Amino acid sequence: MSFLKNVIQNKCPNCGKGKVFKTNGNPFLFQMPEMHPECSECGHKFVKEPGYFFGAMYVSYGLAVAEMVATFFISRLFVTSLVHSLLFIVAAAFLLCTINFRYSRLLWIYMFDSKAKAKAN
């Protein structure tokens, strides 16, 4: 469970102390979250190579689809029109875009960072 706790708390996969992201981002100001290039505590590099986070887009896609499906079913409790449900889904996708960005990258780092995986086992 420390894996999930560290992902939620934005902690370094190597030491569990440093932060991965500098800022949380704000969708209303069109600001995406910014990452630290390396951990401030242990110096662990978060970006291994150019394009390292390309695969995180697939994680982000999975998160976005899950959120949209959940939003659809929750919105169906309150509205009867499919058009209104679609508006709720678009609003939720917009509001959660920075959260998806952060958690998809954090999950990607935790899934494929060998040091962190070896430490967990």
Question: For the purposes of burial, counting CB atoms within 10 Å of the CB of 65, is it exposed (0-12), middle (13-18) or buried (19 or more)?
Answer: exposed
- By CB atoms closer than 10 A (0-12, 13-18, 19+), residue 66 is exposed
Q: Interaction with Zn ion in 5-24: which residues (CB under 5 A)?
A: 12, 14-15, 18
Binding mask 38-57 for Zn ion (x = CB under 5 A): -x-xx-x-------------
Q: Which part of the chain contacts Zn ion (CB under 5 A), choosing from 20-28, 34-42, 52-60, 111-119?
A: 34-42
Which stretch in 32-40, 59-67, 78-86, 92-100 sits in contact with Zn ion by CB under 5 A? 32-40
Size of the site for Zn ion (CB under 5 A): 8
Which backbone phi and psi does 44 adopt, to 5 degrees?
A: -65, 130
Under rule CB under 5 A, which residues in 54-83 are in contact with Zn ion?
A: none
In whole angstroms, the minimum distance from the beta carbon of 115 to Zn ion comes to 10
Three-state secondary-structure class, residue 26: strand
Phi, psi of 111, rounded to the nearest 5 degrees: -75, -40
Residue 16 backbone class (left: φ over 0; alpha: ψ -120 to 50; beta: rest) = left
In the complex, the smallest distance separating the C-beta of residue 107 from Zn ion, rounded to whole angstroms, is 17
DSSP annotation of 76 reads: H
Binding status of residue 105 toward Zn ion by CB under 5 A: no
Binding site for Zn ion (CB under 5 A): 12, 14-15, 18, 39, 41-42, 44
